[in-house]
């Protein structure tokens, strides 16, 4: 008997032949880590259309940074460094095209992964939530949930731990506030911002991020905190005030008892340490998780140490604040990123704002007459380092660095990300959050027009725009 195959069957057979597959059977509490080389997936010989690599949960239970996988679900992990953890055991597969250079994938035994410690941290925070609900607000706050800040130097997994604990809080029925003070590698919106958003769903495992529609965003304007520390502090203070107002008007809600997770930048020395203390203070943080840095852990421990003979005698040491400092292990899975990878991650975030994380959106190109908008900059242009100022100049005047100045719209604004401010007047720019962002694609001074990309098809909601130093070629 002769067998005949349809063209479809031939295609399927060809595709199957062109696909490679690796499989793992993970025991309880084990982790599968997937790591793409520094040169990255970009160097893969696979044509762009074929660049995919899918992780599939065949059976059991597994999660990626706290977001559960469904059995049979295929997640494209091409170019993404991640870990897949199982509490109860799982069979996993990695499928990739024959021309794709596969990532390094390896398993980690249950006694070597920090995931169990992370799960215990979640359990401790859950107890604080229960306790807060019973005892009511304290420490000058109206909300009762733990306010937890994640600190540590660069590349220790702060963002990842923030994501895991936020996911666990949501899975336990909470709606925590996610606050991002890392203006360089923002989780919530474009770089150069400090922002917060109420999280109601676990992070989408395919997109690798939370649904951050309608965040509360303040524009700092730079990807580096040292660019203008006074402005950064003022921006964080303003964010903290608005969050307190939100929480006090939502007292007794699930948000009030769910608490907050604050992701921070990796600058923990000198002035970076001061900024960290400033954030702990203005956000009224009660728990700090310090990842992978003994000195920072001890510094904070000394700063916020308190004796606890009995609750009535609790005494804060140096700071007057009661903050619990917890040391957390760094996962060996964290992949360090050099400056070029960080820049690429920033550009990807800006691109994702306009085109969507998986290119599912179409931004709108619009034009406006330059005379119809006003563009401002805070703190003037780039400043000379203190070392270049006359001897004896200890400090610049802080008011200069937070001074709002109108700038003329010139070609040098091309490729800039501008914030669209909710401010009614220029004096309100520092205290106002932003409606969103536009990307300047062209400035035609002769015609007096500016062309920009916007995620919205409608006209700008405000004619007050704010420029910083965040630029990107989209």
Binding residues for ligand ATP, per CB under 6 A?
33, 81-83, 154-160, 182, 185, 266, 331, 333-335
Q: What token pair was written down for 126?
A: 């859950």
Total length of the chain = 474
By beta-carbon proximity to ligand ATP, the closer residue of 157 and 221 is 157
Shortest distance, position 145 Cβ to ligand ATP, whole Å: 22
Q: Closest Cα partner for 146 from 294, 323, 26, 372?
A: 323
Helix (H, G, I), strand (E, B) or coil at 128: helix
Residue 424 labeled ligand binder: no
From CA 5, how far away is CA 404, in angstroms rounded?
Answer: 72
Q: How many CA atoms lie within 13 A of 354 on its CB side?
A: 20
Give the CB-nearest residue to ligand ATP. Answer: 333
- CB-wise, 203 or 418, nearer to ligand ATP? 203
Query: 3-class DSSP state for residue 126?
Result: helix
The least CB distance from residue 103 to ligand ATP, in Å, is 10
Closer CB to ligand ATP, residue 111 or residue 397? 111
Least distance to ligand ATP, CB of residue 182, Å: 5
Q: How far is the CB of 336 from ligand ATP (least distance, A)?
A: 7
Half-sphere exposure (Cβ direction) of 57: Cα atoms closer than 13 Å: 22
Is residue 343 annotated as involved in ligand binding?
no
194 is in an annotated binding site: no
471 annotated to a ligand binding site? no
The least distance separating ligand ATP from the CB of residue 90, rounded to whole angstroms, comes to 16
Q: How far is the CB of 156 from ligand ATP (least distance, A)?
A: 4
* 439 three-state secondary structure: strand
Query: Tokens 């706290």 identify what position?
Result: 66
Shortest approach of ligand ATP to residue 298 CB, angstroms? 19
Tokens 């040098």 belong to residue: 412
Q: Is 301 annotated as a binding residue?
A: no
Residue 159 marked ligand-binding:
yes
In this complex, which beta carbon is closest to ligand ATP, that of residue 82 or of residue 420?
Answer: 82
Q: With respect to ligand ATP, which residue has the nearer C-beta, 153 or 215?
A: 153
Return the structure tokens found at 94.
């990695």
Handedness of CA 221, 226, 228, 233 (dihedral sign): positive
What does the H/E/C string look like for 5-68?
A: CCHHHHHHHHHHHCEEEEEEEECCCCEEEEECCCCCHHHCCCCHHHCCEEEEEEEECCEECCEE
Among 180, 218, 32, 179, residue whose Cα is nearest residue 109: 32
Q: Is the CB of 129 or the CB of 158 nearer to ligand ATP?
A: 158
Q: Is residue 156 a known part of a binding site?
A: yes
Give the nearer residue to ligand ATP in terms of CB position, either 65 or 452.
65
Rounded-to-5 percentages of helix, strand, coil across the chain:
30, 25, 45
Q: In this structure, are residues 355 and 439 in contact, taking their beta carbons and an 8 Å threshold?
A: no
Binding-site residue set for ATP: 31, 155-160
């Amino acid at each position: 008997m002769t067998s005949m195959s349809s063209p479809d069957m031939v295609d399927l057979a060809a595709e199957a032949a062109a696909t490679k597959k690796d499989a793992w059977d993970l025991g309880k509490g084990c982790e599968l880590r997937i790591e793409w080389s520094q040169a990255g997936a970009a160097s893969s010989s696979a044509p762009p259309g074929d660049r995919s690599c899918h992780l599939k949960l065949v059976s059991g239970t597994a999660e990626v940074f706290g977001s559960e996988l469904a059995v049979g679900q295929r997640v494209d992990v091409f170019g993404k460094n991640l870990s897949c953890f199982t509490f109860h055991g799982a069979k996993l597969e990695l499928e990739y095209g024959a021309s794709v250079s596969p990532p390094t994938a390896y398993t980690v035994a249950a006694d070597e992964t920090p995931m169990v410690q992370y799960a215990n941290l979640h359990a401790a925070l859950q107890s604080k939530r229960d306790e807060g609900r019973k005892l009511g607000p304290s420490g000058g706050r109206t909300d009762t949930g733990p306010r937890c800040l994640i600190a540590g130097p660069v590349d220790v997994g702060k963002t990842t731990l923030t994501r895991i604990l936020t996911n666990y809080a949501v899975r336990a029925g909470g709606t925590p506030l996610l606050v991002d003070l890392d203006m360089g590698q923002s989780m919530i919106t474009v770089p150069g911002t400090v922002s917060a958003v109420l999280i109601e769903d676990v992070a989408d495992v395919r997109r690798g991020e939370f649904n951050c529609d309608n965040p509360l965003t303040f524009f700092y304007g730079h990807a580096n905190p040292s660019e203008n520390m006074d402005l950064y502090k003022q921006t964080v203070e303003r964010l903290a005030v608005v969050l307190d107002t939100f929480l006090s008007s939502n007292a007794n809600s699930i948000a009030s008892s769910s608490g907050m997770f604050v992701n921070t930048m990796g600058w923990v020395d000198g002035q970076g340490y001061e900024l960290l203390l400033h954030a702990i203070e203005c956000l009224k943080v009660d728990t700090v998780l310090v990842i992978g840095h003994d000195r920072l852990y001890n510094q904070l421990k000394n700063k916020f140490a308190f004796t606890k003979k009995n609750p009535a005698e609790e005494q804060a040491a140096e700071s007057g604040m009661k903050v619990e400092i917890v040391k957390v292990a760094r996962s060996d899975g964290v992949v360090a990123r050099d400056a070029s990878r960080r820049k690429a991650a920033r550009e990807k975030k800006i691109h994702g704002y306009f085109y969507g994380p998986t290119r599912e959106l179409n931004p709108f190109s619009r034009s406006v007459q330059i005379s119809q908008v006003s563009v401002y900059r805070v703190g003037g242009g780039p400043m000379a380092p203190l070392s270049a100022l006359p001897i004896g100049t200890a400090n610049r005047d802080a008011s200069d660095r937070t001074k709002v100045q109108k700038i003329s719209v010139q070609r040098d604004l091309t490729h800039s990300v501008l914030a669209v401010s909710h401010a009614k007047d220029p004096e309100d720019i520092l205290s106002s959050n932003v409606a969103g962002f536009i990307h300047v694609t062209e400035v035609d001074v002769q015609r007096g027009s500016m062309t920009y990309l916007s995620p919205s098809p409608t006209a700008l909601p405000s004619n007050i725009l704010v420029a910083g130093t965040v630029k990107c070629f989209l």
